């Protein structure tokens, strides 16, 4: 295994310091951390409010959300931040010549299998992020930076569970 | 003076523009660090690539120490910073469900968007799953509302819980992070894997 090919990425410690400065800037300017799943929730709530207004009025989650978040859910900090993520990721990929449509998967599994597992993983992560009040960005990373007990617990359970289950899903990855 | 929005130094609309700029920085750093590849993200759990560990913990301690010093210099009032509330049950159950999603799907929400931005179709599938998962949560809300709101502890911080100064906890966390980096570097040498 002496000739392991390596794609050129930023040094992880340099990347970490830069990401930390982005997170620091978010707290300095806006008094809050980063996030991701919250933006999708805004989109879901907006869609339900628009397409099925009577359903939104009659079900517990949407009424509770709309009462605690007055105004347009799409005009939120996280929605603008996530639009930025798409732009920033695209720019970095363009500079590094990594823009390409592809299904990335371990060569010993099919694209179809990879996509099915990706959808399933997304469903679980989406559900879990709502239950846990934020995902790896909003709850774990941003929570840890402000020393939130909940952030540390969520982080430990996300990574702990993935480590414990890694053995059972190894054929998808190694 | 900071946070700027709380002290009305910037307007709510400016705050949204800043959110866009911060997002651009966030996405750029994630992609440059390799978080647009599920192979790299999953590598964390098999030891062949511990980039996630290194970037994640370096970022957390950088922001944590930054806020500590900004507060010390009087540049930032930490009492106005949003501290994620702690609901013990949902933090544990939600974290566990997310952990399963991570090893099954190979992404988390932020990294999936980042991978989607450079054309990864597996990330598109993951984002489709995220939307479904969130709809399941919102539609079935009465079923898990009790669990969602159980064991509310307020907004405690780790140093308050352990009853030690904030700086002491930060120092401890830096030492733990360095120990983990050392393990990560060791694991990458021990379990190398070909790229695909």
List the single best residue of A95, A125, A172, A173 to mutate versus B (max B Cβ within 10 A).
A125
The answer to whether the Cβ–Cβ distance between B94 and A130 falls below 8 Å is yes
**Higher per-residue pLDDT: B176 or A8:** B176
- Considering only CB atoms, B5 lies closest to which of A6, A12, A30, namely A30
Residue percentage of chain B with pLDDT more than 90: 95
Question: Considering only alpha carbons, which residue of chain A is nearest residue B106?
Answer: A118
Suggest the residue from A26, A88, A134 to mutate for an interface test with chain B (most B CBs closer than 10 A): A88
| Chain B positions in Cβ-Cβ contact with residue A156 (cut-off 8 Å) | 95
Please state the domain extents for chain B.
84-156
Q: What is the DSSP letter of B25?
A: H
What DSSP letter does each residue of B88-137 carry, written as one string?
HHHHHHHHHHHHHHHHHHS--HHHHHHHHTTTBHHHHHHHHHHHHHHHHH
ipTM for the assembly: 0.96
Chain B residues near residue A106 by CB distance under 8 angstroms: 39, 196
What pLDDT does B1 receive? Answer: 74
Place of tokens 């352990």: B162
Are B32 and A155 an interchain contact pair (Cβ–Cβ within 8 Å)? no
Residue A142 and residue A155 in contact, taking contact as beta carbons nearer than 8 Å: no
Q: Which residues of B49-81 are buried (b: 16+ CB within 10 A; e: fewer)?
A: bbbbbbbbbbbbbbbbbbbbebbeeeebebeeb
pLDDT in tens, B108-152: 999 999 999 999 999 999 999 999 999 999 999 999 999 999 999
pLDDT band at A6 (very low <50, low <70, confident <90, very high): low
Closest in A62, A83, A106 to B138, CB measured: A62
Distance CA A85, CA A39 (A): 11
CA distance B132 to A125: 10
Chain A residues inside the 8 Å CB shell of B166: 147
Nearest to B132 by CA among A42, A130, A123: A123
CA of A116: which chain B residue's CA is closest? B125
pLDDT at B7: 86
The rounded distance, in Å, linking the Cα atoms of A94 and B118 is: 8
Closest CA to B117 of A80, A37, A92, A90: A90
Burial of B94 (C-beta count, 10 Å sphere; 0-12/13-18/19+) = buried
Neighbouring residues of B105: CB distance < 8 A, sequence distance ≥ 6: A117, A118, A119, A120, A121, A122, A124, A125, B38, B112, B126, B129
pTM of the model: 0.95
Q: Is A53 on the interface with B (CB under 8 A)?
A: no
Would you call B31 helix, strand, or coil by DSSP? Answer: helix
Locate the chain B residue with the closest alpha carbon to A16: B55
pLDDT at A3: 54
Mean pLDDT of A145-156: 97
Contact list in A for residue B67 (CB cut-off 8 A) is 24, 27, 145-146
Instruction: Round to whole Å and give the CA distance between B106 and A115.
Output: 11
For B164-196, what is each residue's pLDDT tens digit? Answer: 999 999 999 999 999 999 999 999 999 999 888
Contacts of B2 in chain A (CB under 8 A): 27-29, 31
pLDDT at A66 over 90: yes
Measure the CA angle with vertex A75, ends A69 and A76; round to 5°. 65
Does residue B96 surpass a pLDDT of 60? Answer: yes
Q: pLDDT band at residue A107, thresholds of 50, 70 and 90?
A: very high
- For chain A, the DSSP string reads -TT--------HHHHHHHHHHHHHHHHHHHSS---SHHHHHHHHHHHHHHH-HHHHHHSHHHHHHHHHS-S-TTSSHHHHHHHHHHHHHHHHHHHTT----B----TTS-HHHHHHHHHHHHHHHHHHHHHTTS-IIIIIIHHHHTTBHHHHHHHHHHHHHHHHHHGGGGGGT-
Asked if residue A128 has pLDDT above 90, the reply is yes
Contact between A27 and B63 (Cβ < 8 Å): yes
Cβ distance A116 to B136 under 8 Å?
A: no
Q: What is the pLDDT of residue B196?
A: 85
Amino acid A80: pLDDT: 97
* pLDDT tens digits for range B64-92: 999 999 999 999 999 999 999 999 999 99
Does the CB of A103 have a partner CB in chain B at under 8 Å? yes
Say what the pLDDT of residue A4 is.
59
Mean pLDDT of B4-11: 90
**Residues 56-85 of chain B whose Cβ lies under 8 A from any Cβ of chain A:** 56-64, 66-67, 70, 75-76, 80-85
What confidence tier does A2 reach under pLDDT thresholds 50, 70, 90?
A: very low
Residues 139-158 of B with CB under 8 A from A: 139, 141-142, 144-145, 147-148, 153, 155-158
Mean pLDDT of chain B: 96
Rounded Cα–Cα distance for residues A82 and B146 (Å): 30
Banded model confidence at residue A127, pLDDT cuts 50, 70, 90: very high
Given a cut of 80, whether residue A157 has pLDDT beyond it is: yes
């Amino acid at each position: 295994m002496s000739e392991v090919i390596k794609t050129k990425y930023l040094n992880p410690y340099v990347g970490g310091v830069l990401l930390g400065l982005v997170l620091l800037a978010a707290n300095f300017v806006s008094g809050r951390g980063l996030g991701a799943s919250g933006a999708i929730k805004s989109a879901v709530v907006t869609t339900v409010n628009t397409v099925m207004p009577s359903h939104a009025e009659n079900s517990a989650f949407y009424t509770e959300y709309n009462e605690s978040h007055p105004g347009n859910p799409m005009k939120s900090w996280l929605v603008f931040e996530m639009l930025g993520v798409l732009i920033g990721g695209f720019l970095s990929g363009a500079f590094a010549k990594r823009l390409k449509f592809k299904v990335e998967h371990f060569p010993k599994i099919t694209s179809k299998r990879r996509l099915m597992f990706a959808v399933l993983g997304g469903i679980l992560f989406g559900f879990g992020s709502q239950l846990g009040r934020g995902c790896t960005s909003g709850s774990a990373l941003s929570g840890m930076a402000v020393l939130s007990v909940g952030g540390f617990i969520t982080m430990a359970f996300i990574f702990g569970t993935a480590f414990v289950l890694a053995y059972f899903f190894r054929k998808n990855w190694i | 003076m900071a946070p700027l929005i709380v002290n009305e130094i910037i307007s709510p609309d400016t705050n949204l523009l800043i959110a866009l700029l911060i997002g651009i920085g966030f996405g750029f750093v994630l992609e440059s660090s390799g978080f647009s590849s599920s192979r790299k993200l999953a590598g964390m759990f098999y030891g062949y690539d511990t980039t996630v560990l290194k970037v994640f913990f370096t970022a957390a301690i950088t922001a944590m120490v930054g806020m500590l010093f900004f507060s010390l210099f009087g540049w930032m009032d930490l009492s106005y910073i949003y501290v994620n509330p702690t609901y013990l049950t949902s933090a544990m159950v939600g974290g566990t469900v997310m952990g399963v999603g991570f090893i099954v799907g190979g992404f988390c929400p932020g990294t999936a968007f980042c991978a989607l931005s450079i054309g990864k179709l597996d990330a598109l599938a993951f984002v489709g799953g995220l939307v479904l998962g969130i709809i399941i949560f919102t539609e079935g809300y009465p079923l898990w509302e009790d669990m969602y709101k159980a064991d509310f502890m307020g907004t405690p911080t780790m140093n308050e819980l352990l009853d030690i100064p904030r700086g002491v906890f930060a120092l401890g966390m830096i030492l733990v992070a360095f120990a983990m980096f050392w393990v990560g570097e060791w694991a990458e040498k021990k379990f190398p894997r070909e790229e695909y």
